[in-house]
Amino acid sequence: MAECVTIPNHILSAIASHRQVCSEPMAAFFYDLPALAAQGRAMKAALPAGVELYYAIKANSEAAIIDTVAPVVDGLELSSGGEITRACACSTPRPWVLSGPGKLDTDMREAMTRGVEAFHVESLGEVARLQAIAASLDHLQPVLLRINPALPADLSSRLRMAGTATPFGIDEAHLADAVRAVDDAPNLTLVGFHVHAMSHQTCERRHQRLLASYLECWPRWRALAHQPERVTQLNVGGGIGVNYLQPSAQFDWPGLCEALGERLAAMHEPPRVRFEIGRFLSAFCGYYVIEVLDTKVSHGEGFLVCRGGTHQFRLPAAQGHDHPVIHLPCDPERAIEGERRSWTVVGQLCTPKDVLSRRQEMTGVAVGDLLVLPLAGAYGYNISHADFLCHPRPEQVFVRDSHESRELKTRGQRHAETAS
């Protein structure tokens, strides 16, 4: 399986040069920024006319990632005051929206004063708080209502955020009340609806049907508004999955876009559709690279104990999958001659849960070899419990161009960026 992923040469050389400056066995993230920009451009190029692509920065909000993605997408989707700070520090200012449950009054006020394009409102309580804040700033604020629609049961995915009981959005049964509340709020103006129903959608057909079900509801949702002609936007969220187990078989984004284009073209008054994608934009650019510290066999199972672990890369543990692993031997010629066997790849934590991948076939693995875990650019380091056991945070290396490794390194400690 891992054989399907090839590591680009500029990443291999960045790994090699980083290793030379490591005084300890290494554990570090490498991000291929040109590949990230290319992914954004390809996704954008496939969109039907008039459909927009925003980046949901929670997938990876490192400054270099935002700076790379921002110029190639239409805007950013944020969900906290901290994310507002990061987005506003971006070298290419882009429009941005604020969504998410549990918004603080201070975040909503901050967003308004810093020029938020729209809020995605999650509840009736939020409508009231937002109205009060907008009134205090004497500001007219565009909002979208986030809907938790009833969904056909067969459209579900692993991580559902709609069609079931969740803290997200407003049930369709209460939507009329919410629309009325916004219509009655003098400082708010309803411009559209938002649905982000699931993550990890790996089936293009199912996602097509999901979007089709939103578009079928659209005229009905819109008709609830006092002035339907002002309600023009349908934000369909993100949720496009990454196939971690079969990296060569990825979601057919162009296929989804083509089907969406045909559907929109057939509509009488189609909405302006916007995607806000996190994982599918940033996952592919990241590599987590760890060094083998020890090899052992326990009750018949081989273990590679590596620098780092799930406290730096929680993704496989969070998803319950065996992440693909690519073996980078120190001495490739000797490795080919070595024993082929199955290894379970673990980290340094004193817990049996610190497993990155189970039973991977590898040949001639030795202490000091490197293992590369690809597809680590989204929900990797940033969802990890990096302080557990007081290990130092991993270095993050942002590889800027494919020729010379002009890199920017970030020690785990935030704000400590220095050009190398």
Ligand X SMILES: *Cc1c(COP(=O)(O)O)cnc(C)c1O
Catalytic residue among 4, 257, 285, 350: 350
Question: Counting contacts by CB under 6 A, is residue 286 touching ligand X?
Answer: no
Kindly give, in sequence order, each residue whose CB lies less than 8 Å from that of residue 342, ignoring residues fewer than 6 positions away: 301, 302, 359, 360, 361, 362
Q: Specify whether the CB–CB gap between 399 and 30 falls below 8 A.
A: yes
- Least separation in angstroms between residue 201's CB and ligand X is 8
Question: Counting contacts by CB under 6 A, is residue 274 touching ligand X?
Answer: no
Binder of ligand X out of 192, 271, 278, 308 (CB under 6 A): 278
> Strands, E, within 34-105: which ranges?
52-56, 75-78, 96-98
Phi, psi of 323 (to 5 degrees): -70, 145
Stretch that binds ligand X, among 209-217, 231-239, 368-376, 412-420 (CB under 6 A): 231-239
Binder of ligand X out of 10, 58, 160, 274 (CB under 6 A): 58
Number of H helices, E strands in the chain: 12, 21
- Tokens at 311, concatenated: 């406290």
Site map for ligand X, 64-93, x if CB under 6 A?
A: -------------x----------------
> Strands, E, within 40-140: which ranges?
52-56, 75-78, 96-98, 118-121
Considering only residues 94-113, where is the footprint of ligand X by CB under 6 A? 99
- Least separation in angstroms between residue 383's CB and ligand X is 11
Question: Counting contacts by CB under 6 A, is residue 199 touching ligand X?
Answer: yes
Torsion of CA 164, 170, 172, 178, to 10 degrees: 170
Beta-carbon-side half-sphere exposure of residue 339 (alpha carbons within 13 Å)? 6
Closer to ligand X by Cβ: residue 320 or 352:
320
Question: Counting contacts by CB under 6 A, is residue 240 touching ligand X?
Answer: yes
Q: Specify whether the CB–CB gap between 191 and 95 falls below 8 A.
A: no
- Least separation in angstroms between residue 323's CB and ligand X is 17
The amino acid that residue 247 corresponds to is P
Question: Counting contacts by CB under 6 A, is residue 277 touching ligand X?
Answer: yes
Binder of ligand X out of 274, 279, 307, 323 (CB under 6 A): 279
Question: Counting contacts by CB under 6 A, is residue 308 touching ligand X?
Answer: no
Report the alpha-carbon distance of residue 257 to residue 238 in Å, rounded: 13
β-bridge mates for residue 118, sequence order: 97
Closer to ligand X by Cβ: residue 199 or 213:
199
Closer to ligand X by Cβ: residue 161 or 370:
161
Stretch that binds ligand X, among 3-11, 242-250, 272-280, 330-338 (CB under 6 A): 272-280
Closer to ligand X by Cβ: residue 207 or 400:
207
Closer to ligand X by Cβ: residue 280 or 381:
280
Closer to ligand X by Cβ: residue 2 or 143:
143
- 3-state DSSP call for residue 408? strand
- Tokens at 284, concatenated: 């592919």
Binder of ligand X out of 86, 103, 160, 196 (CB under 6 A): 196
- Least separation in angstroms between residue 77's CB and ligand X is 6
Q: How far is CA 371 from CA 14, 25, 308, 340, in A?
A: 14, 12, 11, 15
Report the alpha-carbon distance of residue 377 to residue 280 in Å, rounded: 10
350 counts as catalytic: yes
First to last CA, the chain: 34
Binder of ligand X out of 59, 197, 236, 325 (CB under 6 A): 59
Stretch that binds ligand X, among 38-46, 54-62, 211-219, 254-262 (CB under 6 A): 54-62
Question: Counting contacts by CB under 6 A, is residue 247 touching ligand X?
Answer: no
Binding residues for ligand X, rule: CB under 6 A, are 56, 58-59, 77, 99, 196, 199, 237-240, 276-280
Active site amino acids: 350
